[in-house]
Amino acid sequence: MNIAIILAAGMSNRYNKDKPKQFDDSFNKKMLIEYSIETFINHSEIDSVILVVPELYFEEIKNKIKNCLIIKGGKTRQESSFLGLRACPKNTNNVLIHDAARPFVSTQIIEDCIKNLNKHIAVSPALPCTDTIIEAKNNSNISKTLDRNILYQLQTPQAFNYKILFDCHKKLNEQFTDDISIIKKQGYECKIIIGDIKNMKITYKEDFKILKSLI
């Protein structure tokens, strides 16, 4: 059984609007999260979708979205991810964890993630870095230029063997920003697959223009 968990419990402090970006309904009268939900729901290899939302918006979203399981998230992304894992059916084999701020995940990426889980414990789409990447001290002075030929930008969904990821979460005593970092901490390797430039993350209000052109 393949389960998709969409993390939508953040409050989008950098988005600068009244509602968190994932619940903004100005995109052709649809909420941002509805785009990725529809892609996962309609994928033939996804058996169920779990949507993790802030407690403040739980009742509202539960009344609006009927085609997936809605649960309350935690205070951090890591906690919300763990709560999503706990809500998975006992016979779950694989889990795909996706950020709600990436509305245009493709069916091909989902398919590639699941296919690669046949041989790998963890899989993540990624794009090679094309810009020059530097390290800077105190946000001003450049201290080091990194080799972009070995640098990638990770995307979601990040896909995992369910049991192994769940066990890794239960062993944690520190905070991580994504699930790949959690599984790497326990010594497991991650397979990189080619991502999609359209699978961008909406972070700032200015990202509206790009998003609307894609819609």
Class of domain 2-214: alpha beta
User: What was the pLDDT predicted at 12?
Assistant: 55
Mean pLDDT of 48-75: 95
Q: How many CB atoms lie within 10 A of CB 11?
A: 13
User: What was the pLDDT predicted at 206?
Assistant: 72
pLDDT at 75 over 70: yes
User: What was the pLDDT predicted at 57?
Assistant: 92
**DSSP-based three-state secondary structure for 55:** helix
User: What was the pLDDT predicted at 19?
Assistant: 76
pLDDT at 28 over 90: no
Angle between the N-to-C axes of helices 162-170 and 77-86, in degrees from 0 to 180, rounded to the nearest 10: 130
User: What was the pLDDT predicted at 22?
Assistant: 86
Angle between the N-to-C axes of helices 107-116 and 32-41, in degrees from 0 to 180, rounded to the nearest 10: 50
User: What was the pLDDT predicted at 25?
Assistant: 79
Alpha helix positions (H), the chain: 32-41, 58-64, 77-86, 107-116, 162-170, 179-185, 208-214
What is the pLDDT confidence band of residue 137, given thresholds at 50, 70 and 90? confident
- Is the peptide bond between 157 and the residue preceding it cis, with omega within 30 degrees of 0? yes
pTM for the structure as a whole:
0.91
Mean pLDDT of 50-68: 94
Domains in the chain: boundaries: 2-214
User: In 3-state terms, the chain is what percent helix, strand and coil (to 5)?
Assistant: 35, 25, 40
Mean pLDDT of 35-50: 97
- Mean pLDDT over the full length of the chain: 90
Is-contact 8 33, C-beta < 8 A? yes
Is-contact 180 138, C-beta < 8 A? no
C-alpha angle 27-155-134 in degrees, rounded to nearest 5 = 110
